[in-house]
């Protein structure tokens, strides 16, 4: 009852209502309220959780040339294709062809839908009036790319009768037949489309992460584009690479047959499709790369700073490129200027073997922090070096992969030891299942810490379900995360109040309720135990049957219920100003043995006072006004009355609010 009613205080909190989205917090379960006050690790997604998931197209790089939709030249803003800054000399004839191929690739390689407007004579009113089209997609990146390319002169119009239509710079409509879509997935980190032009040419256009595209490219200005991608990533921009491949009719027939067989397979269909995609998406020609900006959410940095002051370790788990994710971590204050970054990445492992890298990192952190593991509640002293760890998905796979001698556990323990001594951890290039794997690794470590996972998309569901407490962000990527979570909030900034205030109060209230129930029942039962020594062990009850029945149901239940719903031992403003107070209730501080023993002895002491106080009061055979002597019922009623008043008074004295 207390948990169920207490959960409403979270949903009624007006400060956690977001006017921009019109959403408030949701509680999908009330069983975990007190866990919010015991969180030791927070695992958070980046895109859409720490960031706004509101993508803005910044630039694209084609064959080493940089195209920017809006640039300032001589104090004037240049729009559309006029806004171009070249790294190399102007493109020649072949460069012009590659430029047009790149724009066509971005106009065709996506799953964007155009919002239908009213039509006049088969033509959309929006197009006739020159108004920009409204694009809809499950991926904000795709919308940003299509809108960005529109500002550079190429407009995606519609998908109609399996034909994709685009408007080029000459205002001519080009039609491409959509033959196949090789859908994006988090393992491949890319998507492709196979289209047929009006001239009968068949193209495969592919876009995806640089780590996924570069190994499959056979030609193109790879180094120039790679350099630009890395530069944009360091600036915190989200990057994608674009490549293409041209098929002959004979080659396409083979590809079509290969895909058809995989789609019709009755067993291992997903595996066969993945194998077919792998064979098709190779030997590509690199066209260029794009850069999209995703700004940090309001107060994301303040929230992370408060969580760290509260003694909570924050890990960022993302599928983004390492440089992009690292820039975001610096922006949101996960990493600070004095943080020494330790890298456990594929590039580092290629230079040294995994064993040497792990032991080198372990030696580094233990050299400054001592052989004992850093306690997350001890804070960061001036003498203790602040470390941040960056690990990618490939390196994690090597750590988790069992070795031939079956001793993979040793690598895991070393990895965990490194993580325990780091103030923050960034896991980049993570697949959804790897996110859950990381959460599970920490969750089942020897300390058994309470973990919390927070994300906004379907790719975060696995880690949300794996953590002790799962929180979904009601974001732009649908409600999969919110529906599969224990709690849902509109923005990441609301996590601060949810943990540091609501979580703190929930834990204090439930712990007081549990201890008080022990106390009042010891007070109730122990006089009955003492009474047996005075009634010849006849099992005669001390209390009337009505008292036995109603003591917990009625006489003492309502005060503690109200206390456990309303009590605030400190004000909300104090908790908000001092995140360090969260440490006072951490690690189950109010339900330790010494607290339990205190309440038990207090209950025994009060019970002895109740019983023997009434016993000695009746020692001289006191009589009533009608000459009758006080009997067993009167004695029990007196003990019970004093008992109820005392336990209620104890609760009143402990009440602060």
Length of the chain equals 657
User: 226-260: b or e for each residue (b if 16 or more CB lie within 10 Å)?
Assistant: bebbbebbeebbbbbbbbbbebeeeebeebeebbe
Question: What's the CA gap between 370 and 363, in Å, rounded?
Answer: 10
Please provide the DSSP assignment of 71-116 as one string: EEETTEEE-GGG-EE-SSSPP-HHHHHHHHHHHHHHHHSS--EEPP
* Annotated binding-site members for ATP: 45-47, 142, 184, 207, 238, 318-320, 429, 435, 459-460
Q: Mark whether 544 is an active-site residue.
A: no
* Gyration radius of the chain over CA positions: 33
- Hey, is 263 helix, strand or coil? helix
Phi, psi of 486 (to 5 degrees): -80, -35
Cβ atoms of 241 and 291 within 8 Å: the answer is no
Owner of token pair 């949101």:
332
* Annotated binding-site members for Mg(2+): 45, 47, 456, 460
Q: How far is CA 508 from CA 110, 376, 560, 589, in A?
A: 51, 21, 13, 9
Owner of token pair 């197209």:
57
Which listed residue (13, 45, 210, 294) is catalytic? 45
Nearest to 311 by CA among 423, 432, 226: 423
Q: How far is CA 151 from CA 65, 107, 276, in A?
A: 17, 12, 35
The tokens describing 543, both together, are 């209390």
Question: What's the CA gap between 243 and 183, in Å, rounded?
Answer: 16
Q: In whole angstroms, what separates CA 196 from the centre of its chain?
A: 41
* Annotated binding-site members: 45-47, 142, 184, 207, 238, 318-320, 429, 435, 456, 459-460
Cite the active site residues: 45
């Amino acid at each position: 009852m207390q948990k169920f009613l207490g959960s409403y205080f979270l949903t009624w909190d007006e400060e956690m209502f977001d006017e921009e989205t019109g959403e408030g917090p949701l509680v999908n379960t009330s069983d975990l309220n007190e866990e919010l006050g015991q969180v030791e690790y927070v695992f958070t997604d980046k895109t859409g959780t720490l960031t706004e998931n509101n993508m803005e197209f910044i630039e694209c790089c084609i064959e080493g040339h940089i195209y920017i939709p809006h640039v300032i030249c001589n104090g004037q803003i240049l729009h559309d294709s006029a806004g171009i800054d070249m790294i190399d000399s102007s493109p020649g004839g072949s460069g012009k062809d590659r430029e047009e191929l790149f724009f066509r690739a971005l106009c065709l390689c996506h799953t964007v839908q155009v919002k239908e407007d009213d039509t006049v004579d088969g033509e959309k009113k929006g197009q006739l009036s020159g108004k920009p089209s409204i694009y809809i997609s499950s991926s904000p990146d795709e919308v940003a790319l299509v809108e960005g390319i529109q500002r550079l002169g190429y407009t995606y119009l519609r998908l109609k009768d399996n034909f994709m239509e685009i408007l080029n710079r000459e205002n001519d409509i080009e039609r491409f037949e959509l033959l196949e879509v090789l859908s994006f997935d988090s393992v491949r980190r890319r998507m492709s489309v196979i289209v047929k032009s009006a001239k009968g040419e068949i193209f495969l256009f592919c876009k995806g992460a640089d780590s996924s595209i570069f190994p499959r490219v056979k030609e193109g200005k790879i180094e120039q584009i790679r350099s630009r991608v890395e530069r944009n990533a360091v600036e915190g921009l989200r990057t994608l690479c674009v490549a293409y491949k041209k098929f002959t009719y004979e080659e396409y027939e083979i590809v079509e047959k290969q895909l058809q067989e995989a789609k019709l397979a009755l067993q291992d269909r997903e595996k066969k499709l993945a194998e077919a995609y792998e064979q098709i998406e190779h030997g590509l020609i690199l066209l260029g790369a794009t850069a999209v900006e995703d700004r940090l959410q309001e107060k994301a940095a303040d929230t992370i700073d408060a969580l760290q002051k509260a003694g909570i370790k924050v890990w960022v788990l993302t599928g983004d490129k390492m440089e992009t994710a690292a820039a975001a971590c610096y922006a949101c204050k996960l990493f600070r200027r004095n943080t020494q970054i330790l890298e456990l990445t594929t590039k580092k492992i290629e230079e040294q073997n995994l064993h040497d890298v792990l032991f080198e990192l372990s030696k580094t952190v233990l050299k400054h922090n001592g052989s004992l593991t850093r306690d997350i509640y001890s804070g960061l002293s001036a003498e203790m070096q602040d470390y941040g760890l960056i690990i990618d998905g490939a390196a994690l796979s090597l750590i988790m992969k069992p070795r031939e001698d079956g001793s993979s556990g040793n690598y895991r323990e070393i990895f965990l030891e490194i993580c325990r001594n780091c103030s923050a951890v960034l896991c980049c290039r993570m697949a959804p299942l790897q996110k859950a794997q990381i959460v599970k690794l920490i969750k089942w470590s020897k300390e058994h810490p309470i973990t919390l996972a927070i994300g906004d998309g379907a790719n975060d569901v696995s880690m949300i379900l794996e953590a002790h407490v799962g929180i979904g962000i009601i974001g732009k990527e649908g409600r999969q995360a919110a529906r599969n979570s224990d709690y849902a909030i509109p923005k990441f900034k609301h996590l601060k109040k949810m943990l540091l205030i609501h979580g703190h109060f929930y834990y204090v209230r439930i712990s007081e309720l549990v201890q008080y129930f022990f106390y009042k029942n010891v007070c109730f039962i122990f006089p009955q135990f003492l009474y047996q020594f005075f009634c010849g062990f006849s099992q005669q009850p001390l209390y009337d049957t009505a008292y036995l029945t109603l003591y917990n149901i009625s006489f003492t239940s309502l005060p503690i219920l109200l206390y456990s719903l309303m009590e605030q031992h400190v004000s909300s403003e104090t908790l908000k100003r001092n995140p360090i107070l969260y440490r006072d209730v951490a690690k189950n501080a109010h339900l330790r043995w010494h607290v339990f023993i205190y309440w038990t002895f207090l209950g025994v002491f009060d019970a002895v006072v109740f019983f023997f106080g009434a016993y000695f009061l009746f020692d001289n055979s006191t009589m009533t006004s009608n000459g009758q002597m006080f009997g067993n019922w009167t004695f029990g009623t007196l003990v019970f009355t004093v008992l109820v008043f005392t336990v209620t008074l104890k609760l009143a004295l402990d009440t602060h609010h």
